[in-house]
Amino acid sequence: MPKNVAQIRVNELETISTKDGLPTNEVYHLTKDKKGFLWLATRKGLFRYDGYEFLSIGPKAFAEKISLLDDQHLIVSLSSTGIFNINTETLTATEIASPKWSDDNPDNDHFNNVFVDAKKRIWCGDFHHAKFYDEKNKRWHLFRLFTNTAEDVTSIRFFQDSQQKVWILALNKLYFFDEKRRKPVLFKTFSKSITLRTIAENGNTFYLGTLQKKLIALNINTKSIREYHEGLNDTEINDVLFYKDLGLQKCLVATSGGLYTFDIFSQKFSHIDQFSQIKPRFTALYLDNQLQKIWIASDAGLLKYQNGKKSCETIFIPPSVAQLPVTINAFLKPNRNEIYLGLSHSGILKYHQQNGTFTKFDLPSDISVNKMAITHEGDLLLATTKGIYQLPKNGKALNRIFPSISSNVKVICIDSKNQVWLSSEYQPIQVFSYPKQQTLKLWSDKVKKEFWTKSLVNDMLLSDDGKVWLASWYSPGFGICYFDEKKQEFIQVADLKQNIKRHNQFIGDYFLALANRNHQIFASGYGGFNVLDKEGKILSELEVNKAKDNFPDDYFAKIDVDRQGSIWVGTFDGLLRFSPDFKQYAKFIEEDGLISNNTSNGFLLDEESKIWIGQKNGMNILKINELAKSEEPAVFLSTFETLGGTKISNQSALVKLLRYQNNLSLSFSPLNFAPAAKNQFRYRLLGINQNWVNNGTNNRLVFVDLQPNTYQLEVSIGTNHGVWSKKPYLITFTIEPSFIETIWFKLLILMCLSLIAYVFYRYRINQILKIEQLRTEISADLHDDVGATLSSISILSTLVQHQVKDSPTALKYLNTILEDTSSLQNKLEEIVWSLRSDRDTVGQLTARIRRIGAEIFEAKGINYEFEVDDSIGHLKLSMDFRRNLLLIAKEAVNNLVKYSECKQVKISILKVKGNLELIVQDDGKGFENTNIEGNGLRNMRARASKMKGKLTVYSKIGVGTEVKLVVSLTQIGD
């Protein structure tokens, strides 16, 4: 007979403790701010939790209670420090009140059980009073509730109902605050043995937790009470929470030694025995409607309970139903509410979804169910390791059918004619009529001999058009075929005309599973899967070895396709989901709720878009529709600090940082409080990274040695299923340059350099002026003194010459003196001319050469011509340059006068290609170029070398001579 047993669901209670980074396991209270950060009051102070790290905020003192003030502020009471206003944006703490230890009034030292009501009044209690602080007027209002000093300073507690009325619990009395009378009014007095601890609202009933092992239900309208304690083993009730789970009203109770559920209808407590051994003290409950979680504070850490709809549900097989361990090998779902589970031993289970119970149908313990199929009559047929079994529609037990078959039947399929197809390992396929169970011969013996002795069938599928498809290993072909009823033969899709040239598109020759959707066949196996049309033509393929992604496993054991066209594949290392175009894939593993990563056992995608996955000792139900709803991640900035510990509290549109704050650390969180492995991060720092940079599961970004600039950082978060946030988080920050990098510093440096240049310029000008003055003085002295003396010598020599006409020897000496004096006068005149600063242009030098040449040529009767480039007449010449140029010109003129016997001379001073050229040409007798070296020419070459120029002499007998000096214009100045 079948057994009916209630299911045991996986415990969804998760503990976060010091081993997970929680600073202390002593958690007393908790709440969430507007953004979704979780705030914890602990023994070591107030902490903010983002799912990754716990950030200490405010003084490090015993934090008792916290309460939200508004969207950006919360109030925390610290036992030894006072009450603080915490800015949740800037993460700063502002003191509201502190203990006055110096006076003798103990009430001034306590601000217990802080609570903020809808009017922003900050309530708390002491030994005698309920009191509130008016934040707007900065005033305290005290209401004495106890005449005598209370033994417990935490006796006064606060609550606000759905009508915004403030209620005050004070030992065994319940007050409400009368807004008109501006004072607490007594509503109900309970037995003196009762101490009220907490309160929760459910409709018109208050549920009051006490220290005396009782939960009291108080009707607000009638003031009638009822007490509940059946099943409650602990004395102190610290918190009560009503919530809805899958539409059902539920109640959770936190006590001093355990966690309980309370059934309003049966009025009984049920202990959650996960903590029965350590018996932690549970202090507070918080309902997170956004994430459908319940957060629980305790002295064993922070607890998280996932309520509401779950995208992945886990159901374990009760030990009373089947001997464990057992694996679910197959699924079959005949209707919406029931599903059959084929087990690895001892039979099958029927799971009733509506009430969560199992019905067991027994088989011998050594029989394993491989596959299941349902006939047109509604009978369930099982392919097992020892033949075929039947569960008739509405039957109570399993029966053995097809007695001739006792082997390991791996595959079973019912075709459109209600014929049963069976395949045993390395045996021919057999087809039987049903229910008559007669053997049918659908193909010839030749087909049987050639095909079935070389084939291993792993799966069968009845397609929409009535074909029976086979996934197999078939060495001569590629492992996929279908039965052609008209031809009475199996068609190898590899042999089809349309596939002859597509053999390289087959993923292999070993196929494991088949699926059918939208008139397409999906076949998976070793190395990937193929997609074919209903006639067998290959449409596409996904081959693991050729894909750019690194898939966790190449053994694609199971395959199916959902209504959106996504392909689901079961492997030994997770469940894979591929987009219809194969461009994206997601992986589902234990962190997503799977019992095990092995999804190669039982596998079924039903019409409600649920994937049933067989596991060891249980099963997973992946709800595709719920999964799509939950996969819309958002990202939030959690911390922003410089390396070295300086926290950046200003998280406005533009964050300005100093130059030394250029090493940054930023952390982000989706605030979904999911396992870290389920969140993926990527970023791009515009101006540096134009493309997204994958940061993996690491939620922290570090940037080192950023240069002064304005940066835009975009951060996107994705699930491990490949879904990314539509709107990335954007933060703009500027790193200000240091003073030495600013334009003002550069202008200052420019001004200093300009000043230095000006001072140097003035110094150089002064030096030049001094040199010019000295040259002028020397020139004047030479001209006036030496020149005058030489003139006197010349005059006196002339006079003496007239007086000694009769003495040839004396006359000879006098002539020599006269000639030398005249020569010395000319040289002195040239030196004086070269020293004068007002004779430093090319034009003035040209005039000098013209005058010297004219005197000599006219005296000798030689015709001459001067050619001068007027465009260079203004160019300045250094003193050495113009002296050397003048002497070279004079030497060339003197030589041609002495030796050339010319009739015509041409002197040219020109600008040619950035050079200054001096050319002296004559039409004299010329000479051989091989014998042209003399003192005069050597001196000319030496002077040309000093000028960094080039001197060339060209002469031809009977034609004339040319002397040419070429000097770069860059060498002519100072």
Note the pLDDT of residue 201. 95
Pair (724, 759) in one structural domain: no
Note the pLDDT of residue 830. 66
Q: Read off the pLDDT of each residue in 535-554 and give the average, rounded to a whole number.
A: 85
Per-residue pLDDT band for 4 (boundaries 50, 70, 90) equals very low
Per-residue pLDDT band for 387 (boundaries 50, 70, 90) equals very high
Q: What is the pLDDT of residues 261-272, one digit of tens each?
A: 998 888 888 888
Note the pLDDT of residue 687. 74
Pair (778, 815) in one structural domain: yes
Q: Read off the pLDDT of each residue in 369-386 and give the average, rounded to a whole number.
A: 96
Lowest mean pLDDT among 45-54, 207-216, 640-649, 670-679: 640-649
Please identify which residue in the block is written with the tokens 């030398």: 820
Residues 511 and 559: their CA atoms lie apart, in Å, by: 11
Q: Read off the pLDDT of each residue in 467-489 and give the average, rounded to a whole number.
A: 83
Structure tokens at 756: 């230095």
Q: Read off the pLDDT of each residue in 516-526 and give the average, rounded to a whole number.
A: 93
Pair (731, 800) in one structural domain: no
Query: For position 911, which CATH number holds?
Result: 3.30.565.10
Asked, for residue 144, whether it belongs to a domain, the answer is: no
Range of the domain at 815: 755-839
Residues 717 and 725: their CA atoms lie apart, in Å, by: 6
Pair (967, 861) in one structural domain: yes
> If we measure between CA atoms, which residue out of 335, 407, 416, 337 comes closest to residue 370?
407
Q: What is the pLDDT of residues 107-156, one digit of tens each?
A: 888 999 999 999 999 999 999 999 999 988 899 999 999 988 877 878 99
Note the pLDDT of residue 467. 92
Residues 897 and 750: their CA atoms lie apart, in Å, by: 59
- The pLDDT mean for the chain works out to 87
Q: What is the pLDDT of residues 413-458, one digit of tens each?
A: 999 999 999 998 777 889 999 999 999 988 877 666 556 655 688 9
Asked, for residue 924, whether it belongs to a domain, the answer is: yes
Pair (724, 780) in one structural domain: no
Instruction: Classify residue 617 by burial, with Cβ atoms within 10 Å: 0-12, 13-18, 19+.
Output: middle
Per-residue pLDDT band for 524 (boundaries 50, 70, 90) equals very high
More confident residue, 338 or 485: 338
Lowest mean pLDDT among 544-548, 551-555, 643-647, 943-947: 643-647
Per-residue pLDDT band for 759 (boundaries 50, 70, 90) equals very high
Is residue 38's pLDDT more than 90?
A: yes
Last residue of one domain, picked from the residues 266, 284, 302: 284
Residues 971 and 119: their CA atoms lie apart, in Å, by: 91
More confident residue, 325 or 891: 325
Is residue 798's pLDDT more than 70?
A: no
Is residue 568's pLDDT more than 60?
A: yes
Is residue 8's pLDDT more than 50?
A: no
Residues 649 and 652: their CA atoms lie apart, in Å, by: 9
Note the pLDDT of residue 181. 95
Asked, for residue 776, whether it belongs to a domain, the answer is: yes
Is residue 239's pLDDT more than 50?
A: yes
Q: Read off the pLDDT of each residue in 561-587 and give the average, rounded to a whole number.
A: 91
Is residue 18's pLDDT more than 90?
A: yes
Pair (730, 849) in one structural domain: no
Note the pLDDT of residue 1. 41
Is residue 370's pLDDT more than 90?
A: yes
Note the pLDDT of residue 877. 85
Residues 380 and 41: their CA atoms lie apart, in Å, by: 58
Asked, for residue 462, whether it belongs to a domain, the answer is: no
Note the pLDDT of residue 10. 40
Q: How is 710-751 classified by DSSP, letter by letter? A: EEEEEEEEEETTS-B-SS-EEEEEEEPPPGGGSHHHHHHHHH
Lowest mean pLDDT among 2-16, 619-633, 944-958: 2-16
> If we measure between CA atoms, which residue out of 203, 193, 197 comes closest to residue 215?
197
Note the pLDDT of residue 810. 67
**pTM of the entire structure?**
0.67
At what angle are helices 808-835 and 879-899 packed, to 10 degrees? 140
Pair (926, 811) in one structural domain: no
Pair (810, 921) in one structural domain: no
Is residue 490's pLDDT more than 80?
A: yes
Pair (733, 770) in one structural domain: no
Q: Read off the pLDDT of each residue in 192-200 and give the average, rounded to a whole number.
A: 94
- The H-assigned helical ranges of 438-569 are 445-452
Pair (777, 816) in one structural domain: yes
Q: What is the pLDDT of residues 952-966, one digit of tens each?
A: 999 888 889 999 999
Last residue of one domain, picked from the residues 232, 259, 284: 284
Total number of domains constituting the chain = 4
Q: How many CA atoms lie within 13 A of 342 on its CB side?
A: 27
Note the pLDDT of residue 782. 59
Pair (788, 866) in one structural domain: no
Q: What is the pLDDT of residues 307-355, one digit of tens each?
A: 766 778 889 998 889 999 999 999 999 999 999 999 999 999 999 988 8
Lowest mean pLDDT among 187-191, 212-216, 525-529, 795-799: 795-799
Pair (789, 917) in one structural domain: no
Asked, for residue 746, whether it belongs to a domain, the answer is: no
